[in-house]
Structure 1
């Protein structure tokens, strides 16, 4: 017997599209199911000004296949030299929906990120004034800090002081991976939200390390213990409106993943909705999937929910391609490790 579930068309509140040939290859994988996405600005060089964001948006729209509808929601890469006036103008124009904070060295293409957080105070003050959200990659980068502790320490040492210094600032903790992050968001006021990725709902650190290193499960922030994965699942499926989907779908060609110093990122754009339906069904929470994928994010970003819908149908297992050809090389699609019975119908 088959079952169906109709949702408002979802959005992705954290997405990497890259540029050039990779952009052209992966954009259709998102646009097939998602109406909008917050676009990460960590290109080389990064997207740091309104003019650069406008040019990148034009390249994205030029890469969109005919007949597909998709709206890229642009962000700026926060540096210690970011001009508050440029940020305000880009926001006022309707182009930029958020500013992204990368601690320098935290993840892919983050070398231009922030080292001295005091130097970004004028930008944060302006953002608080105009209501522009700050999206954070929430990890400290000091070499002496264990990689599995970097998110929890970021909350205490960086994020909480920023929020106390700028009480009007709206913040999204992106791709949270710990129970500490869940607890911090839950206890905070409505100025704080968090995205949760597809892959962090499915994998823990054993998936990366047990039985040999699995490079296609390696991501940053790295997956943590099972107790943290379970906390993320509980938060995502709870119906709490300050948790919403941000896939952090991050394409890298296989030679750069399967490498002595492999790149961080899981490419989940292709099969995210099928994977999420399985996760939510297992928790008896299919009625809350629409909130997580389609309602909570727009509400936090003060945008209308999508009017269009998608329908997921449960039946025989659905298969997705194992790899996407990027033109620069193959990109491996995330394997959740269990059968997917929910397919997305047009």
Structure 2
């Protein structure tokens, strides 16, 4: 008989983007709505969160919007970061530091150049000493006309950086964020338990075919080959404790996700005289609003046993980050016979009288097989 009820011990999302301003006010309460009790928040704001004081002030904003959610703050790795700031951040409750390779994803212009991570040796040594976590966006920038690097091989080409950092700082806790390839899975499996990886629900569902067919399926890193997706599913299916949920839920206004060409002026004979060309599609997939029911639905469609849910969405990540689940924070989900339709869009008012905008969630208009009944 199929399982109809799942009890999950205080689910933890180890990678979420909550933005700022009006968009932050919209999506921050969705973390709890989606069944998450604790969330590790990314620092790639504008400007990025590069100091302990900024990280803690941002945390206060988030807690005011969702007081019952346990948010974990992080900082953005830059060459201005010092060992003294690491000590200050750790003392103030900042959990980790996120590395963005320069230019590879949203708001990463101030990130790390891929000439190497040696410039951060003193910072990493201090992080290892105080036991702060290093979170790595595991891609190198594309160079299609140079060394042939592109979005499909950018992650495997990053793995030597991961291995070198671990070699130099063997006790440093490291997370390879949102891994997407079989190569990344195999690499992490060769490393000790203080090196782990997060996996997103959308990478369990999508392949490169989906990514090139719709802007709503475009994220960084992009979904890869079917064999890569199979490797992600397999490592969760085996219940490997070094792989856990990090949704990389990344909301964008629909105007940035689905830019359209607008005609500014037409000629008298019906021709086009002037147009505004579309801007590049923003990278990111939004999943916070239905995250735990979404994971359960994708597990079933991917032939991943539901008994692996508890480890993946709670136990493994909490153990790595050092925050035990509280018994009173259990989340219960149940199977729905007819399915629950995912909302097509969330409307919000842009800051400064800039008009209305929308956030379109992953699988908008499709049905989930599970819903939250107790959280």
TM, length-normalised to structure 2: 0.87
Q: Do the aligned partners of 1:42 and 1:110 also contact (CA within 8 Å) in 2?
A: yes
Q: Do the aligned partners of 1:136 and 1:174 also contact (CA within 8 Å) in 2?
A: yes
Aligned to 1:269: 288
Q: Find the partner of 1:180 among 178, 183, 187.
A: 183
Aligned to 1:301: 321
Unaligned runs of 5+ in 2: 260-277, 351-356
Q: Find the partner of 1:52 among 38, 48, 54.
A: 54
Q: CA deviation at 1:270?
A: 1.3
- Secondary structure, in 3 states, of the residue corresponding to 1:13? strand
Aligned to 1:133: 133
Q: Distance in 2 between matches of 1:118 and 1:142?
A: 21
Q: CA deviation at 1:76?
A: 0.6
Q: CA deviation at 1:147?
A: 1.4
- Secondary structure, in 3 states, of the residue corresponding to 2:155? helix
Q: Distance in 2 between matches of 1:122 and 1:153?
A: 24
Q: Distance in 1 between matches of 2:184 and 2:170?
A: 19
In the TM superposition, structure 1's runs of 4+ consecutive aligned residues that sit over 6 Å from their partners are: none
Q: CA deviation at 1:2?
A: 7.8
Q: Do the aligned partners of 2:217 and 2:285 also contact (CA within 8 Å) in 1?
A: yes
Q: CA deviation at 1:337?
A: 8.7
**Is 1:150 aligned to 2:171, yes or no?**
no
Alpha carbons of structure 1 residues 74 and 284: separation in structure 2 relative to 1, 3 Å: closer
Q: Distance in 2 between matches of 1:219 and 1:111?
A: 17
Alpha carbons of structure 1 residues 248 and 88: separation in structure 2 relative to 1, 3 Å: same
- Secondary structure, in 3 states, of the residue corresponding to 1:244? strand
Q: Do the aligned partners of 1:323 and 1:332 also contact (CA within 8 Å) in 2?
A: yes
Q: Do the aligned partners of 2:43 and 2:98 also contact (CA within 8 Å) in 1?
A: yes
Q: Distance in 2 between matches of 1:203 and 1:286?
A: 20
Q: Find the partner of 1:38 among 37, 40, 58.
A: 40
TM, length-normalised to structure 1: 0.94
Q: CA deviation at 1:284?
A: 4.8
Alpha carbons of structure 1 residues 122 and 208: separation in structure 2 relative to 1, 3 Å: same
Equivalent residue pairs, number: 338
Q: Distance in 1 between matches of 2:63 and 2:344?
A: 26
Q: CA RMSD in A?
A: 1.6
Aligned to 2:305: 285
Q: Distance in 1 between matches of 2:68 and 2:15?
A: 18
- Secondary structure, in 3 states, of the residue corresponding to 2:157? helix
Alpha carbons of structure 1 residues 330 and 338: separation in structure 2 relative to 1, 3 Å: closer
| Bigger Rg over Cα | 2
